[in-house]
Structures are given as structure tokens and as C-alpha cells.
Amino acid sequence: MSKPIVEAREIHKHFGHLHVLKGVDLEVAERELVFVIGPSGSGKSTLLRCLNRLEEPSSGSVVVDGIDMLDPRTDINHARQRIGMVFQSFNLYPHMTALGNVTLALRKVAGKSRAEADALGLAALQRVGLADRAGHTPGQLSGGQQQRVAIARAIALEPRVMLFDEPTSALDPELVGSVLEVMRDLRQSGMTMIVVSHEMGFARNAADRVMFMDDGLIVEQGPPAAIFENPTQERTRAFIGQIQRH
């Protein structure tokens, strides 16, 4: 394994009395696609959000692309440009066009001129197959299209790592494919990706590694085939049996 691009050590997270992450270690190599699965409430989203510090870990360390994310001297806004994030509920800005959504951070954070930002934004929309929708507002787009715009918003900043938090679970089944298609393209282009999702088919043929989380800990991890066919832990087996029945 090459040198890790994401390195999280001993992450703990408390919400008041609730101990949500109980010492998670996570290493992700460059170009690797890691899948995170686990029951609801196990801390998957919290883990992702600790990586770009949308959530402040209670203790532990997070280093992404050589930057210590938890160091108070780190320019967090600059660092976050290198870490793209895609949300379950898209979170597109409803008052802006697709292109406006994609170019906002290019202009305000990366300091591009409007013309430069528009060119880069259009290229990003092109990559997700939506260049022709650049002038549409989120309300005029389907859920699948909205999520692809959200992906374009993240990749336009040329991040080193992409975090996906259940990117397809708010979509109608017939729209899921188009989003997975874009994610597969991204993987092919060599993007490092951490994906929380229960799309088992996608995990099986795209993931390098699958991690099973339960109760704030990584219980088991390995290649998809191993985790899905021969889990060593009883909890993993039970969970996989449960989601495969659906």
C-alpha cells in the first residue's frame, strides 16, 4: 500500500453523554475506494464529517494529504477545498443555477475570476453529463440530476479526496444508476473516495475495501468479496444478511 492520503487515529466523538465514535482508526491510500457500511446510528456520517471537520472530534488526529486538520493553525477553509463532500440530501443552493452552485467556491475560495470559474464549472458539469443544464435551478432538476450537480460542485475544486454520505439513498430507484455511473467514472480517473452507502452491487465491483462499522467502532474490514461472503464477525454477518434480504 502506498503512503496513506487520509490518516485518522483514535477518533472519539461525544455528543453530550452520547459516545458516538469510540476510537476509530482509518487509513486510506491514494486512489483507493473505501466503502463504509453499518447499521443506522453506528456513526458512519459522524466519522465522515470528522474528516473535514464539519464535526469537531473530541479527541484523536486527522491528517489529510499531509495537512493536520485538527491543528488550530490550519486554514480550515483552504484545507476543505481538497476534500469534496456529497450529502444524502444534495444540499444544492436553491437560489442559484447549477453553474452558480458549482462556481461559488471557485470564485470565493479558490479566487478564480468569473470567466475562469465558469469555464471550470462547465467542465465539471460536463463530467457529470449535465453541461446542458448549467442554467437550470435545483427546483428544475430531478433528484439524480441534483446529486450529480452536487458532485460537480465538489470535483470542480479538484479535491484530493471525495467523501460520499449515502449519495443515492434519497433517490428514486430508477435515478440511482446515473449517480453511480458518475461515481464509477470518478474512480476510473483515480479519485480517492470514501463512500458510506448500502449499494452492495456497486461496492462489490468498485470498492477496494469494505469497512463494517457498529456502535462507533470499525468491527471488520477487508476486500468486498471477503466481507460479503465470509465475514468473520457475527455482527457483520447479521447485518449483511439483513440488507441482502431487501
Partner 1 sequence: MSTWDRFVETFFNAKVMVKYLPDILSGMVVTIELAVLIVLSGLLAGLVLALLRALAIRPLNWLIIFVVDLFRSLPPLVIIVLIYFGLPAAGVSPSGFVSTWLSLAFVLMAFSEEIFWAGITSIPKGQWEASRSTGLSFGQTLINVVLPQALRLTIPPLTNRTIAITKGTALGTVVAVTEILGQASSAVSNSYNPSPLMMGAAAYLVLFLPVVVAARWVETKFAWKR
Ligand X SMILES: Nc1ncnc2c1ncn2[C@@H]1O[C@H](COP(=O)(O)OP(=O)(O)OP(=O)(O)O)[C@@H](O)[C@H]1O
Burial (CB count <10 Å: 0-12, 13-18, 19+), residue 187: buried
Assess 43 for contact with ligand X (CB under 6 A).
yes
CB of 188 to Mg ion, least distance (A): 26
The item of partner 1, Mg ion, ligand X, none sharing an interface with residue 41, based on CB under 5 to 8 Å by kind, is ligand X
Q: Which stretch binds ligand X (CB under 6 A): 35-43, 59-67, 76-84, 181-189?
A: 35-43
Residues 204-223 that bind partner 1 (CB under 8 A): none
CB atoms within 10 A of CB 131: 16
Residues 31-50 that bind Mg ion (CB under 5 A): 45
**One-letter amino acid for residue 223 of the chain:** P
Per DSSP, the three-state class of 39 is coil
**One-letter amino acid for residue 111 of the chain:** G
What are the φ and ψ backbone dihedral angles of 207, each rounded to 5 degrees?
A: -80, 145
Closer to ligand X at the Cβ: 84 or 216?
Answer: 216
Q: Which stretch binds ligand X (CB under 6 A): 44-52, 70-78, 98-106, 113-121?
A: 44-52
- CA pair distance 135, 217, nearest whole angstrom: 44
The count of chain residues that interact with Mg ion, using the rule CB under 5 A, is 1
CB of 98 to Mg ion, least distance (A): 25
CB of 76 to partner 1, least distance (A): 8
Of 52, 113, 50, whose CA–CA distance to 82 is shortest? 52
Residues 61-120 that bind partner 1 (CB under 8 A): 77-81, 83-85, 87, 89, 91-95, 104-105, 108-110
Pairing of strands 4-15, 18-29: antiparallel
Per DSSP, the three-state class of 163 is strand
- x-or-dash pattern for partner 1, window 151-170, by CB under 8 A? --xx--x-------------
Question: Which one of 32, 45, 148, 164 is in contact with ligand X (CB under 6 A)?
Answer: 45
The count of chain residues that interact with ligand X, using the rule CB under 6 A, is 11
Q: How far are the Cα atoms of 97, 98, 105, 131, 228 from residue 124, in angstroms, in the given order?
A: 14, 11, 13, 8, 34
- CA pair distance 84, 82, nearest whole angstrom: 6
CB of 234 to ligand X, least distance (A): 19
Which helix H or strand E contains 173, and what residues bound it?
A: helix 173-188
Question: Which one of 10, 14, 15, 229 is in contact with ligand X (CB under 6 A)?
Answer: 15
Q: How far are the Cα atoms of 48, 144, 169, 203 from residue 104, in angstroms, in the given order?
A: 23, 21, 26, 32
Q: What residues line the site for ligand X (CB under 6 A)?
A: 15, 18, 20, 38, 40-46
Q: What residues line the site for Mg ion (CB under 5 A)?
A: 45
Q: What residues line the site for partner 1 (CB under 8 A)?
A: 49, 52, 54, 77-81, 83-85, 87, 89, 91-95, 104-105, 108-110, 139, 150, 153-154, 157
